[in-house]
Amino acid sequence: MPVLTNIGVLATCRADGGQGNLHAIPDAAVAWEGPTVAWTGPSTELPERFRSDRTVDAGGRLVVPGLVDCHTHLAFAGWRADEFARRLQGATYQEIARAGGGIMSTVRATRAATFEQLVARCEAHLREMAALGVTTVEAKSGYGLDVDTEVRILEVYRALEERQPVTVVPTYLGAHVVPPEFQQRRGEYVESMCTRVIPEVARRGLARFCDAFLEDTAFGAAEALQYFAAGAHHGLRPKLHADQLTDGHGANLAADVGAMSADHLERVSDRGIQRLAEAGVVAVSLPIATLYLQQPPMPARRLIEAGVPVAVATDFNPGTAPSCHLPFAMTLACTLQRMTPAEVLKGATIVAARAIGEEREAGSIEVGKQADLALIDAADVNEWLYHLRANACLGTWKRGVRIAP
Ligand SMILES: [Zn+2]
């Protein structure tokens, strides 16, 4: 039976006890049987039956749960480096979107890409993420917008589940932006998502959640409500891109519809924070996007103090967060959002797992859960997130199998 021993700090990240409580075990070991954690505790108490020749010595380092990136736009074609340069010269995200750039330029490239091209790109990204310690990734559609391409992207995610080891949790994001062919007929676009795409996606089991981008360049509250009602009717739970560029009362809407998560929230109001707390909605922070858009950060301290769990994710996408480096996002959550490294680690493990309904399988190191583990070249979480490096992960295990390096 495989065992990791001589762990300096085992951050188990059990859910209870508040965002900053890692339930860490010093001088620890963890043993697993097949895909499942069988034992955790102090090394000196490791039962004889778990002592085996398949032991990995952690060298007194940190071991954490396999990281969970709970918000990515994984499948897309092309990049948008030109826009990056234009934004640096003063163009705003909204201006670029209105001129037909932004999300729409990625939609054009993605519609032109083949299924196999998209799979190959996603596999490369997932390998990069696994090497960083990531073992579960939420992946949104939303760069197709027409029925065929949206379904193709979600089929890419299904194929990835079979072709590589990282868990991919699919989300339908039809309500990302109104495509140009519907620009003068927004209502018809919303109607087509509700009556054609959502039923098809749900019938084929291609997504677990439906997500909408609530913003003045994207969708309004009434449109989002209609979309979420159709999703709920077909068993897709809501998630929401909310209060990113403006306070559009997105947090209130997320609370009203019982969303799994409200994501971004850089501009969330005090009232919105209160509503999220009451409704038990997870707030997902996306500090790479905050950095690239040079925005004020999500008020994570106020959210945590109000009792809202705060997840940390990359928002990996070609426009506003062109990096799938979750540990980089975690360090930014400390420096921009003033979260402690311990709060951030729970935010990228058990809280993130809750944001995508995976908390029974992933996000913490507990007997009976998946043996998803990352061995980190640091003495503890403070040292890890303080000392920003290309990659501090020395080994990643998914369901008990070493997948990197
Ligand atoms: Zn996003």
- Which pairs with CB-CB distance under 8 Å and at least 24 residues apart come from 217-223? 217/93, 217/94, 217/97, 217/98, 217/102, 217/177, 217/245, 218/175, 218/176, 218/177, 218/178, 219/175, 219/178, 219/190, 221/248, 221/249, 221/253, 223/175, 223/186, 223/190
Query: What's the 190 CA to ligand 1 centre distance in angstroms?
Result: 19
Query: What's the 32 CA to ligand 1 centre distance in angstroms?
Result: 35
pTM of the full predicted structure?
Answer: 0.97
- Which residue matches tokens 């043993």? 31
Query: What's the 376 CA to ligand 1 centre distance in angstroms?
Result: 27
Query: What's the 9 CA to ligand 1 centre distance in angstroms?
Result: 33
Cα 137 from Cα 9, distance rounded (Å):
25
Query: What's the 84 CA to ligand 1 centre distance in angstroms?
Result: 17
pLDDT in the model for residue 218: 87
Cα 372 from Cα 66, distance rounded (Å):
5
pLDDT in the model for residue 102: 86
Give me the amino acid identity at 131.
A
Query: What's the 6 CA to ligand 1 centre distance in angstroms?
Result: 39
Residue 387 — very low, low, confident or very high, per pLDDT cuts 50/70/90?
A: very high
Query: What's the 368 CA to ligand 1 centre distance in angstroms?
Result: 32
Query: What's the 291 CA to ligand 1 centre distance in angstroms?
Result: 14
Query: What's the 53 CA to ligand 1 centre distance in angstroms?
Result: 44
Over range 328-341, report the average pLDDT: 98
pLDDT in the model for residue 248: 83
pLDDT of residue 53 exceeding 80: no
Give me the amino acid identity at 303.
L
Phi-psi region of 97 (alpha: psi -120 to 50; beta: other; left: phi over 0): alpha
Mean pLDDT over the full length of the chain: 95
Give me the amino acid identity at 385.
L
Query: What's the 315 CA to ligand 1 centre distance in angstroms?
Result: 5
Query: What's the 277 CA to ligand 1 centre distance in angstroms?
Result: 22
Task: Please state, for a pLDDT cut of 90, what percent of the chain lies above it.
Answer: 89
Burial of 270 (0-12, 13-18, 19+ CB in 10 A): exposed
Q: Can you tell me whether residue 200 is helix, strand or coil?
A: helix
* Of 104, 157, 152, 127, the residue nearest 318 (C-alpha): 104
pLDDT of residue 93 exceeding 80: no
pLDDT in the model for residue 94: 79
pLDDT in the model for residue 101: 83
Instruction: Map 336-353 to HEC letters.
Output: HHCCCHHHHHHHCCHHHH
pLDDT in the model for residue 100: 77
Query: What's the 373 CA to ligand 1 centre distance in angstroms?
Result: 26
Q: Which residue has better confidence, 99 or 149?
A: 149
Tell me whether the omega of the peptide bond preceding residue 405 falls within 30 degrees of 0, making it cis: yes
Q: What is the pLDDT of residues 274-312, one digit of tens each?
A: 999 999 999 999 999 999 988 999 999 999 999 999 999
- CA angle 298/304/309 to nearest 5° reads 90
Give me the amino acid identity at 383.
E
Task: Please state, for a pLDDT cut of 70, what percent of the chain lies above it.
Answer: 100
Cα 385 from Cα 336, distance rounded (Å):
13
DSSP conformation letters of 86-120: HHHTT--HHHHHHTT-THHHHHHHHHHS-HHHHHH
- The kind and range of the H/E element at 65 are strand 62-65
Contact present, 286 and 330 (Cβ < 8 Å): no
pLDDT in the model for residue 52: 75
pLDDT in the model for residue 375: 98
Instruction: Map 295-324 to HEC letters.
Output: CCCCCHHHHHHCCCCEEECCCEECCCECCC
Q: What is the pLDDT of residues 167-190, one digit of tens each?
A: 999 999 999 989 989 989 999 999
Query: What's the 140 CA to ligand 1 centre distance in angstroms?
Result: 8
